[in-house]
Amino acid sequence: MRIAVAGGGISGLVAAFRLRGLIGAQARITVLEASPRTGGVLYTGELAGGPVDLGAEAFVGRRPEVPALLDELGLAEQLVTPSGLRPLVWAGGRSQPLPERTLMGIPSGPESLAGLVDADTLEWVRTEPERPLEWAAGADIDVFSLVAARFGEQVAERSVDPLLGGVYAGSSRSIGVRAALPALAAALDRGAASLTAAVTSVLPPPSTAPVFGGLRDGYRVLLDALAARAEADIRTGAAVRSLARTERGWVLDPIGEVDAVVLATPAPVTARLLAAVAPEASAAARAVELSSSVVVALALPGDTALPENSGVLIATGEGLRAKAFTLSSRKWPHLAARGGALVRASFGRFGDPGPLSWTDHELVTAAVEDLRTVTGVAIAPDGFAVQRWPGGLAQYAPGHTERIAELESGVARLPGLAVAGAYLHGVGVPACVAAGTAAAERAAAVLV
């Protein structure tokens, strides 16, 4: 039995590992990765004498997939949790605490917004439950249109955008309610009387459990373990150029005939590979747009007086170049224990690929100047690492859920073919682990 996985990011490597578990030693699994290394947008570099994640640096700890996978791979001791310090948001030219008890920044009441938005907006939020809400069950609109209409633009730009900018490198204007906030859409579909009521009904109960987890030595440890345990022939620098059906299975350029295929490539590549075999699914994948970003990691002297916060997120329209800072050595005790201070600056939002073309010098200068602005502290880096992510994050625009349903139903009609990836059911690493697992099960179904 011969199986090909196109794309060696986390989705593809999880699929390869799961296929080995499902099919056993007799399977010949080949992972074809276009770039010179596996991992896709997960990349652990080196800075200040230790590993530093320059793509994803965390995962949502409430979801079980990553801790369960670490356990399964014998890597449970790699799991680290954050310090519990809260982030700040830079809005209206000053730093203040990021509102608590929100759903992706959408508030459950006016209390947490005090100081962040003006008095008129606070009053508008307070009285929102008194205004009738019109929502057609099944509707989908961008998050900005919903939040601005109910709570005012300042809430969208100062409370919601800083969070969506981090998760999707997008903004409330580029992200749809139904795909990004499915529980909220469901509460609205059920007839919630107001947005306040809908948010309140879906907020998880207050908890002191850590929201995020991370890996002590970076994501590279997980990627290496998946590759080793998949016992696959992993070929880097090997782009899949085409996919066609045969009587028995599939033929892939450049490796020839296989019995089953998992496409774990970014949406536009998947669209291209599906064009001849599933034109409607291909069109659905082609409609998913991507956003580009850049991460600049700074190593600072240990006595840099960074605020006692996990990061500083930046609201829309503040005139800064960075969109967020993670104060990594404040957020992660294992990084603080190394000595020195570490900060990650993030740049780039959907529709503004500008920072991708800036030089390293321009990026580091912008990071240093903006970090000084938002912290009020003198910043003098001892070292830095720059990582560009062209098209690194899928935008979950309005209509995304329907597009993905169409894509998946088109692929489901083709036995031995499955898709996985961050553009399907969530951009986070846990969702990619789930997608890779589900794709392996679908592909293996024709083989076992």
Ligand X SMILES: Cc1cc2nc3c(=O)[nH]c(=O)nc-3n(C[C@H](O)[C@H](O)[C@H](O)COP(=O)(O)OP(=O)(O)OC[C@H]3O[C@@H](n4cnc5c(N)ncnc54)[C@H](O)[C@@H]3O)c2cc1C
Question: Among residues 146 and 394, whose Cβ is nearest to ligand X?
Answer: 394
Closest residue to ligand X, based on beta-carbon distance: 40
Residue 312, CA distances (Å) to 54, 331, 377 in order? 17, 11, 13
DSSP bridge pairs for 88: 97, 312
Chosen residue from 3, 23, 43, 57 binding ligand X by CB under 6 A: 57
Q: Which residues, numbered 223-262, are part of the site for ligand X (CB under 6 A)?
A: 239-240
Segment interacting with ligand X (CB under 6 A) among 50-58, 108-116, 197-205, 306-314:
50-58
Chosen residue from 3, 18, 20, 40 binding ligand X by CB under 6 A: 40
Q: How far is the CB of 7 from ligand X (least distance, A)?
A: 3
Q: How far is the CB of 81 from ligand X (least distance, A)?
A: 14
Q: Which residues, numbered 388-407, are part of the site for ligand X (CB under 6 A)?
A: 389, 392-393
CA geometry: angle at 12 spanning 439 and 177, to 5°? 65
Segment interacting with ligand X (CB under 6 A) among 10-18, 81-89, 374-382, 401-409:
10-18
Segment interacting with ligand X (CB under 6 A) among 5-13, 22-30, 99-107, 299-307:
5-13
Task: Indicate whether 162 belongs to the interface with ligand X (CB under 6 A).
Answer: no
Chosen residue from 117, 271, 315, 422 binding ligand X by CB under 6 A: 422
Task: Indicate whether 375 belongs to the interface with ligand X (CB under 6 A).
Answer: no
Chosen residue from 3, 4, 11, 397 binding ligand X by CB under 6 A: 11
Cβ contacts of 402 within 8 Å, gap of 6 or more: 140
Q: How far is the CB of 241 from ligand X (least distance, A)?
A: 7
Question: Among residues 244 and 378, whose Cβ is nearest to ligand X?
Answer: 244
Task: Indicate whether 179 belongs to the interface with ligand X (CB under 6 A).
Answer: no
Question: Among residues 155 and 298, whose Cβ is nearest to ligand X?
Answer: 298
Question: Among residues 88 and 264, whose Cβ is nearest to ligand X?
Answer: 264
Task: Indicate whether 33 belongs to the interface with ligand X (CB under 6 A).
Answer: yes
Terminal Cα distance for the chain, rounded = 10
Question: Among residues 40 and 398, whose Cβ is nearest to ligand X?
Answer: 40
Q: How far is the CB of 246 from ligand X (least distance, A)?
A: 19
Chosen residue from 177, 181, 262, 264 binding ligand X by CB under 6 A: 264
The dihedral formed by the CA atoms of 390, 394, 399 and 404, expressed in degrees to the nearest 10: 120
Chosen residue from 29, 58, 278, 322 binding ligand X by CB under 6 A: 58
Q: Which residues, numbered 294-323, are part of the site for ligand X (CB under 6 A)?
A: 295
Question: Among residues 83 and 121, whose Cβ is nearest to ligand X?
Answer: 83
Task: Indicate whether 56 belongs to the interface with ligand X (CB under 6 A).
Answer: yes
Task: Indicate whether 12 belongs to the interface with ligand X (CB under 6 A).
Answer: yes
Question: Among residues 56 and 117, whose Cβ is nearest to ligand X?
Answer: 56
Segment interacting with ligand X (CB under 6 A) among 246-254, 359-367, 385-393, 439-447:
385-393
Chosen residue from 42, 187, 192, 284 binding ligand X by CB under 6 A: 42
Question: Among residues 32 and 315, whose Cβ is nearest to ligand X?
Answer: 32
Q: Tell me, letter by letter, the H, E, C secondary structure of the chain.
A: CEEEEECCEHHHHHHHHHHHHHHCCCCEEEEEECCCCCECCCCEEEECCEEEECCCCCEECCCCHHHHHHHHCCCHHHEECCCCCCCEEEECCEEEECCCCEECCEECCCHHHECCECHHHHHHHHCHHHCCCCCCCCCCCEHHHHHHHHHCHHHHHHHHHHHHHHHHCCCCCCCEHHHHCHHHHHHHHCCCCCHHHHHHHHCCCCCCCCCEEEECCCCHHHHHHHHHHHCCEEEECCCCCEEEECCCCEEEECCEEECEEEECCCHHHHHHHHCCCCHHHHHHHHCCCEEEEEEEEEEECCCCCCCCCCEEEECCCCCCCCCEEECHHHHCHHHHCCCCEEEEEEECECCECHHHHCCHHHHHHHHHHHHHHHHCCCCCCCEEEEEEEEEEEECCCCCHHHHHHHHHHHHHCCCCEEECCCCCCCCCHHHHHHHHHHHHHHHHCCCC
Q: Which residues, numbered 106-145, are part of the site for ligand X (CB under 6 A)?
A: none
Lookup: tokens for 31: 């992972």
Q: In this structure, what are the phi and psi dihedrals at residue 103, rounded to the nearest 5 degrees?
A: -110, 105
Contact residues: ligand X, CB under 6 A: 6-12, 32-35, 40-42, 55-59, 239-240, 264-266, 269, 293, 295, 389, 392-393, 421-422, 427-429, 432
